[in-house]
Amino acid sequence: MLTADIGSTYTKLTAIDSIRKKIIATSSAFTTIETDVMEGFSSAYGQLKKIAANFEYDQLLCCSSAGGGLKMVALGLVPELTSKAAKLAAASAGAKVVKTYAFEISQSEQNEIFEIDPDLVLLCGGTDGGNKEVILSNARRLTQIQRSFTIIAAGNKSASFELEKIFSESGKAFVITENVMPEFNKLNIEPARQKIRELFISRIIEAKGLSRIQELCKTAIIPTPLAVLDGCELLSKGTKSISGIGDLMAIDLGGATTDIYSIAKGKPTRTNVTVRGLPEPASKRTVEGDLGMRYSLSPLVNGLELNDLSDELGVERAILADWIDACIQNPALLPPPGSIEQKVEEFLARNAVRIATERHCGSYQSVYTPFGQMFTLTGKDLSAVPFVIGIGGAIINSHRPHYILEGVKPLVNDFEYAKPENPHFLIDKKYIFASMGLISSVDADLAITLLKQEIINS
């Protein structure tokens, strides 16, 4: 088998011998999204053949985030409920959720969506049989936006007939599916997630020039983050014949985003706790578009204080500022091994992991009642998660990956965030999670065997 992960920067290939249950070789080349992605694929395959001259593949499987993947906005009724459900459905399907909106959108928000120019809009709102005025109003306002996005309507089923009429008369591309929250505090994100996957195939594949590679594949090309999520779920849960490793988190720290994956129910680990807000899925992905080591370095640094960083690192502020400016100007720049700049790089990466984890995990708040002190938990408690896996390029290529991953742990005297307290760190040195997620769709036992070989036993 051959798997291809066609990213925005690199096209990564993995050659697998399914009989001997072995990864034969991996290779990569720059993604040629501006011309023809087949050029980058052929270049990477040429590199692969230099390593494994006799390799010929019988089956090709592919995922892609070329051109940034799916750009999406989500609309719901109230931020704590349907808006959050919409965001969870979009993110778990591999989409990059640029913005979420609640209640009826305003004229300025309509203009903002026009400027965002999304590939997809996920429209939610109301439990089944509940409020349908807001979703219908937002549907009409979306049809007034002169952009070619596709609308996935996943709200109150009582509004489905009116929604179909509104979209059909406007000429907007649309799909109507099951409500992401049919009952109060009950999630149903799988139907919307499946529609996002289908629209990725029909719309984005053509837009990003991947149709020629799709012709070589027997299965559909899927978004890379979805392939990674599938790999995480497989390693956590296992198959009927091969056990998984249980709860885990995975950190994909890249140049543009930091993606966090958690496979855990996230039940409270403290006593006297009341859970607040919408229950979150056991398999969860969040993507932070303002936390990256190159293309999103400016917003990452803006969220930190350079003077504090300088003091904590023991590095002059001027050196710190010069390196950050150089990286922003030249995203391909790499620090010399053992240099002060490398120390700065690792420190910034650790902070990106810290902030992204705080946004992903749940948080505790102390409340005082007539019965004494109690706590409320919003989100998932990940404090007991036993494994944290580094899968992003900025982690894999670091000389101190465990130092970077330490950012997932709570800070001293930090009792708010339910972050992993004492995890065992693992590294995906060959960047195979996306590859194994693809393989899992055709041979799950092979995929988990290889994951354990490369991640657990390496």
How far apart CA 351 and CA 291 sit, in angstroms, is 9
How far apart CA 68 and CA 288 sit, in angstroms, is 13
Q: Are 55 and 193 found together in one domain?
A: no
CB 426 within 8 A of CB 396: no
How far apart CA 306 and CA 297 sit, in angstroms, is 13
Tokens of 178: 């099951």
CB 109 within 8 A of CB 99: no
Q: Are 6 and 63 found together in one domain?
A: yes
**pLDDT at 33 exceeding the cut of 70:** no
pLDDT of residue 67: 61
pLDDT of residue 226: 86
Give the residues across from 276 on adjacent strands: 378
Give the total residue count for the chain.
458
Q: Are 270 and 177 found together in one domain?
A: no
Does a structural domain hold residue 316?
no
Number of independent structural domains in the chain:
3
Does a structural domain hold residue 323?
no
**Domain limits for position 407:** 248-291+350-427
Q: Are 33 and 123 found together in one domain?
A: no
Q: Give me the mean pLDDT over the 375-381 stretch.
A: 90
Q: Are 384 and 256 found together in one domain?
A: yes
What is the CATH classification number for the domain harbouring 193?
A: 3.40.50.360
Q: Are 166 and 57 found together in one domain?
A: no
Does a structural domain hold residue 448?
no
Q: Are 81 and 176 found together in one domain?
A: yes
Q: Give me the mean pLDDT over the 267-293 stretch.
A: 85
What is the CATH classification number for the domain harbouring 10?
A: 3.30.420.300
Q: Are 45 and 81 found together in one domain?
A: no
- pLDDT tens digit sequence for 390-412: 997 789 888 899 999 999 999 88
- Angle between helix 306-313 and helix 340-360 axes, rounded to 10 deg: 120
- pLDDT tens digit sequence for 61-94: 999 876 666 788 999 887 777 677 777 777 766 6
Q: Are 395 and 419 found together in one domain?
A: yes
Q: Give me the mean pLDDT over the 200-217 stretch.
A: 76
Cα separations in angstroms, 151 against 34, 98, 105, 156, 195: 27, 15, 15, 15, 10
Does a structural domain hold residue 86?
yes
Sheet (strand 258-263) strand order? 283-288, 258-263, 248-253, 387-390, 424-427
Does a structural domain hold residue 320?
no
Give residue 345's identity as a one-letter amino acid code. Answer: E
pTM above 0.75, yes or no: yes
Among the three residues 148, 176, 203, which one is the final residue of a domain in this structure?
A: 203
Q: Are 87 and 173 found together in one domain?
A: yes
Which residues are CB-contacts of 399 (< 8 A; sequence separation ≥ 6)? 337, 342, 346
DSSP 306-327: HHHHHHHHT--HHHHHHHHHHH
Q: Are 256 and 397 found together in one domain?
A: yes
Does a structural domain hold residue 458?
no
Q: Are 121 and 213 found together in one domain?
A: no
Query: Chain-wide mean pLDDT for the chain?
Result: 88
pLDDT of residue 351: 92
- pLDDT tens digit sequence for 106-162: 999 999 999 999 989 999 988 899 889 999 999 999 999 999 899 999 999 999 999
pLDDT of residue 135: 94
Does a structural domain hold residue 385?
yes
Does a structural domain hold residue 389?
yes
